[in-house]
């Protein structure tokens, strides 16, 4: 008779490691329920598939490096009226991602640009896509050090392999010529290969002031805006509206400042 230990080893050889680890418990449970061979085999395969999917999501969440975990279900269209529920549902379908449409989320600080970008990124991971999230400052550092620092080189490779790249706070600071050229090279490599979500306080017409070189600006905009949807987000800052106070309630000075 073949031992359970031998079966576990065979499963590992076949790279069914999750099932191998759970096999003794699954055999015991099947015996208690008097399961048929077909039922038992289906349970084994379903378990392996489920655990692989869970590990894929966990790995891709880690690689994405989101600053927080927010979902589209948590995004309140009553707070951010720039999007209707129908439009939010359209974004959730991710057809724009398959069509390589970029999204440009514009607006002042605190109106939910990063929230929406992260939520779309998390939805994409659950749907099987690879995602990278980068604040603009971190992206510039990665591009400048990719040739000399292994960590930056690894991160850049992951960016180029991603189906969706989210660049947060685009153009929050001016770039020098070297940085602008490196940024253009990245956009050029991602063009027609990956979808990009940009969040920014400034519209595309103002990006030239921060990139400096008109030719580089034109080349970048040409690739970004070729297929792009611009979403202008407005309203009151979430952080100010729902800020917490160490005093529990607003004091009179706080109220006078708001009024």
Considering only residues 177 and 172, tell me which one the structure prediction assigns the higher pLDDT. 177
The share of the chain scoring above pLDDT 70, in percent, equals 89
Per-residue confidence at 242, pLDDT binned at 50, 70, 90?
Answer: very low
Same domain, 123 and 146: yes
65 within a domain of the structure (yes/no):
no
Question: 118 and 231 in one domain?
Answer: yes
pTM: 0.80
Residues 40 and 82 in one domain: no
Binning pLDDT at 50, 70 and 90, where does residue 235 land? low
Question: What is the model's pLDDT at position 255?
Answer: 47
**Overall domain count for the chain:** 2
Q: Which residue has better confidence, 258 or 70?
A: 70
Q: Is 167 within a domain?
A: yes
Asked if residue 63 is part of any domain, the answer here is no
Kindly list the distances between the CA atom of residue 133 and the CA atoms of 26, 104, 127, 146, in Å, as whole numbers in the listed order: 39, 14, 17, 17
- pLDDT of the residue at 103: 95
DSSP 9-68: HHHHHTT-HHHHHHHHHHHHHHHHHT--HHHHHHHHHHHHHHHHHHHHHHHHHHHHT-SS
pLDDT score of 202 more than 80 = yes
Mean pLDDT of 149-169: 96
103 and 142 together in one domain: yes
> Residue 64: pLDDT above 50?
yes
Assess whether 43 and 87 both reside in one domain.
no
For residue 253, being part of any structural domain is answered with no
Q: Are 201 and 233 found together in one domain?
A: yes
Q: What is the pLDDT of residues 116-155, one digit of tens each?
A: 999 999 999 999 999 999 999 999 999 999 999 999 999 9
Closest C-alpha to 235, from 116, 151, 112, 70: 112
Domain membership flag for residue 43:
yes
Domain that holds residue 48: 4-57
Instruction: Give the whole-angstrom CA distance, residue 131 versus residue 63.
Output: 8
Statement to judge: residues 83 and 52 lie in one domain:
no
Residue 257 lies in a domain: no
Query: 109: closest CA among 238, 258, 229?
Result: 238
Please indicate, yes or no, whether residues 80 and 53 belong to a single structural domain of this protein.
no
In a domain, 224, yes or no: yes
CA distance 153 to 103: 26
Is the domain of 14 the same as that of 135? Answer: no
Band of the pLDDT at 176, cuts 50, 70, 90? confident
Look at residues 118, 124, 155, 117 and name the one whose alpha carbon lies nearest to residue 138. 155
- Collapsed DSSP state (helix, strand, coil) of residue 211: helix
pLDDT for 5-24, tens place per residue? 888 888 888 888 888 888 88
Question: Do 80 and 45 have their domain in common?
Answer: no
CA-based end-to-end distance of the chain:
81
Q: Are residues 127 and 204 in the same domain?
A: yes
Residue 169 lies in a domain: yes
85 in Cβ contact with 73 (< 8 Å): no
Answer yes or no: do 137 and 200 share one domain: yes
> pLDDT value at position 234?
79
Compare 174 and 248 and report the one with higher pLDDT: 174
């Amino acid at each position: 008779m073949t031992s359970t230990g031998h079966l576990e080893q065979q499963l590992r050889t076949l790279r069914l490691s999750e099932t191998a680890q759970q096999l003794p418990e699954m055999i015991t449970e099947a015996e208690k329920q008097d399961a048929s061979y077909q039922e038992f085999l289906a349970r084994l395969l379903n378990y392996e598939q489920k655990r692989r999917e869970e590990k894929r999501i966990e790995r891709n969440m880690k690689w994405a490096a989101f600053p927080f975990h927010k979902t589209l279900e948590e995004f309140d269209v009553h707070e951010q009226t720039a999007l209707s529920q129908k439009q939010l549902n359209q974004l959730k379908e991710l057809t724009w991602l398959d069509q390589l449409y970029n999204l440009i989320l514009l607006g002042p600080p605190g109106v939910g640009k990063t929230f929406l970008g992260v939520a779309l990124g998390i939805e994409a991971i659950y749907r099987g896509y690879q995602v990278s999230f980068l604040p603009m400052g971190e992206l510039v550092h990665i591009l400048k050090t990719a040739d000399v620092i292994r960590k930056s080189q690894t991160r850049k490779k992951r960016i180029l392999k991603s189906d969706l790249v989210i660049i947060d706070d685009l153009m929050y600071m001016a770039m020098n010529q070297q940085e602008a050229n490196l940024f253009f090279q990245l956009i050029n490599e991602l063009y027609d290969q990956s979808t990009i979500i940009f969040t920014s306080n400034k519209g595309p017409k103002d990006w030239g002031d921060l990139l400096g070189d008109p030719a580089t600006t034109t080349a970048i905009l040409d690739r970004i805006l070729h297929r792009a949807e611009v979403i202008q987000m407005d309203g009151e800052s979430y952080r100010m509206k729902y800020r917490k106070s160490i005093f529990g309630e607003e004091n009179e000075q706080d109220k006078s400042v708001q009024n």
